[in-house]
Amino acid sequence: MKGEGTSRAEVRQWLAEARVPPKVQQNIDRLADSDDVQRVVVLPDVHLGRLVNNGCVAATVDLVYPQAGGSDIGCGFSAVRFNTSADVLKEDERARTVIRQLHGLVPALKQSSVQAVPASLRDRSLSDPALAKESERDGAWQFGTLGSGNHFVEFQEEEAGALWLMVHSGSRALGQLITRFHLERATRSRTGLLFLDGRSALGQAYLNDMDWAVCYASLNRLAIMARVVEFFDAAFGITAEESSYLDSPHNFARRERHFGRELIVHRKSANSAGLNERNLIAGSMGSPSFIVEGLGLEESLCSSSHGAGRVMSRTEACQRISPRDLKRQLGAVKYDDRQLARLCDEAPGAYRDIRKVMQAQHDLVRRRARLNPVLNFKFPDTRRT
């Protein structure tokens, strides 16, 4: 931890490569030099983010940095196991049927009608009437939607053959709105990052609203999964095992106890990995994902990677990876072939080798199950960053 009179935080790294790119290092240095940051943890899926990298964790005593928790607050993975073999989706015609249905069941941006938001979310309050109004408007229209880019609905095969469903989505427009709202009220640190004092009314308001968005994101994923599960039951007589359900957010900040003191731990595209804590680490749309248990290593602030991490920007991937390359990389994985040319920025080759990521964090998590992709459904991202 940062010592008395020391201006720079201690940085601990778990890397899949020998070193990080210069721009990624600049972001690490900025975060480590920022006011009140005590420790920075760099995980093996680290890749360039705006001001703060994805795959980074930062601990403070009093200050909270919205940029270090990610603007898609609560973004994460959820998964559930079906009571059937993954073989049911390996037949081409059934896979095409499922893909067609997913287009109607899981919209990208907004629903065709206002959705009923669960009471557990309505019982929570946002800190400002303007945010509350937006939650009642955009929140109701976007509830149960996927988003685009790296967000996905994926069917996976466990080693023993069981079929799993995994969903990757977040708090949609509301997380970004909450982040912008509070950044406008934040103070600029000496490095340029913006913070709120967690002891002040402004800081407490942000932490409250962030918790609301984390809850919204988890319920959003659950709503998507429920629609898919209902379809599988009605169409194929296949049911899901509720006891297998896992929810694994990776964009948030919260108070935790480490090194004998209470800290605010910010995770941007990073999992919590407390002792025996179960979480999900996703590969690319053509590589395996993992169910893991945390090993509770305090040096990492009890954290792990959330996925493989990009090694190419979206623009670079589209320039270097052709539709033919993507088709070859996906192999037997089913997908919407009408979208093939628009998904090159999500090709497995644009991501780090998940095997190297898992190897680099063997002291952070233990593997409990490997989930190989069978069918991947996602919407193309028009952004090029």
Every domain of the chain and the residues it spans: 10-377
> DSSP secondary-structure letter at 92?
H
Q: Give the model confidence (pLDDT) of 236-269 as tens digits.
A: 999 999 999 999 999 999 999 999 999 999 999 9
385 pLDDT higher than 50:
no
287 pLDDT higher than 80:
yes
Q: Give the model confidence (pLDDT) of 156-175 as tens digits.
A: 999 999 999 999 999 999 99
pLDDT value of residue 383: 59
pLDDT value of residue 382: 61
pLDDT value of residue 1: 67
Q: For residues 265 and 361, give the distance between their C-alpha atoms in angstroms, rounded to a whole number.
A: 19
Amino acid letter, residue 305? S
Q: Which of 47, 168, 250, 306 is catalytic?
A: 306
81 pLDDT higher than 50:
yes
Mean pLDDT to the nearest integer, 35-45: 98
Q: Provide the 3-class DSSP secondary structure of residue 371.
A: strand
Which percentage of the chain shows pLDDT scores above 70? 97
Q: For residues 213 and 221, give the distance between their C-alpha atoms in angstroms, rounded to a whole number.
A: 12
Q: For residues 344 and 32, give the distance between their C-alpha atoms in angstroms, rounded to a whole number.
A: 34
Q: Provide the 3-class DSSP secondary structure of residue 136.
A: helix
pLDDT value of residue 117: 84
pLDDT value of residue 381: 83
Which percentage of the chain shows pLDDT scores above 90? 92
Instruction: Give the residue from 61, 45, 52, 69 showing the smallest Cα distance to 1.
Output: 61
Residue 4 confidence class, pLDDT cut points 50, 70, 90: very low
Mean pLDDT to the nearest integer, 219-235: 97
Q: For residues 294 and 118, give the distance between their C-alpha atoms in angstroms, rounded to a whole number.
A: 30
Spell 65-76 as b/e; 16+ CB within 10 A means b: bbbbbbbbbbbb
Q: Give the model confidence (pLDDT) of 172-183 as tens digits.
A: 999 999 999 999
pLDDT value of residue 2: 65
Instruction: Give the residue from 311, 297, 318, 291 showing the smallest Cα distance to 380.
Output: 318
Instruction: Give the residue from 219, 196, 202 showing the smallest Cα distance to 122.
Output: 219
pTM of this prediction?
0.95
- Concerning whether 266 is annotated as a catalytic residue, the answer is no
Q: What is the CATH number of domain 10-377?
A: 3.90.1860.10
Q: For residues 73 and 207, give the distance between their C-alpha atoms in angstroms, rounded to a whole number.
A: 11
pLDDT value of residue 252: 98
Average pLDDT over the chain reads 95
pLDDT value of residue 121: 86
Q: For residues 322 and 89, give the distance between their C-alpha atoms in angstroms, rounded to a whole number.
A: 26
Q: How many CA atoms lie within 13 A of 263 on its CB side?
A: 22
Beta sheet of 365-377, edge-to-edge order: 240-249, 76-85, 162-169, 152-158, 365-377, 289-294, 278-281
Phi and psi, residue 184, nearest 5°: -65, -20
Contact (CB, 8 A) for 52 and 192: no
Contact (CB, 8 A) for 65 and 222: no
5 pLDDT higher than 50:
no
pLDDT value of residue 113: 87
Contact (CB, 8 A) for 59 and 38: yes
Q: Give the model confidence (pLDDT) of 302-335 as tens digits.
A: 999 999 999 999 999 999 999 999 999 999 999 9
pLDDT value of residue 6: 57
Contact (CB, 8 A) for 191 and 167: no
Question: pLDDT higher for 216 or 4?
Answer: 216
Contact (CB, 8 A) for 308 and 351: yes
